[in-house]
Amino acid sequence: MYIWIGIIIAAVITGILEWKSLLQQGKTKDLVVALSILTLGTTLYLFLLFEVPMPTLSQLLSKGIEPLYKPVARWIMEDIDNG
């Protein structure tokens, strides 16, 4: 049930280890890109964890391309009884 605690702790530890190793071995750009991705992922995970009201990715994309897919979807489903 509390797997999220493990995930958050793992993300923080990963961040610290990446910071340490990339400061020594990599370039600043590597560090910035890696930590940005990690922060983005962890933030999204926290948003989902605390049930921040936001549309899902499917809803977002569906809204974005609604004028394009709606006519096709209607045509596809027009003869389906239980559609």
Partner 1 sequence: MDKESSISSVQFAVLMYMFSVGTAALIQPHLMVLLAGQDAWFTLVIAMIIQLALASLYMSLAYRFPNETIIEYSRKIVGPYLGTIVSCIYLLYYLMLGGYIIRVVSDFIGSVILIQTPLDALSLTFLIPALYGVFLGLGVIGKAAQILLPVALGVFILTALLLIPKAQFSNLLPVFPNGIMPSIKGTYPVLGFPLMESAIALMLFKFVKDKKKTKKLFYIGIVASPLTSLLITAYTIMVLGVDMTARAPYVVYDMAKEIHVERILERMEAIVGIIWMSTTFVKMSLCLYVCTLATVQIFKVTSYRYLLIPLVFLLLPLSLWVANNTTEVEEFNRDVYTIYTLLPGLFIPVLLLVIARIRGMRGISEQKQNQNE
Query: Where on the chain is the footprint of partner 1 (CB under 8 A)?
Result: 1, 3-4, 7, 10-11, 14, 18, 22, 26-27, 29-30, 33-35, 37-38, 40-42, 44-45, 47-48, 56-59, 61-62, 65, 68-69, 72-73, 75-77, 79-80, 82-83
DSSP 4-34: HHHHHHHHHHHHHHHHHHHHHSS-HHHHHHH
Minimal distance, residue 62 CB to partner 1, in Å = 5
Minimal distance, residue 67 CB to partner 1, in Å = 10
- Enumerate residues 6+ apart whose C-beta is below 8 A from 45: 4, 7, 8, 11
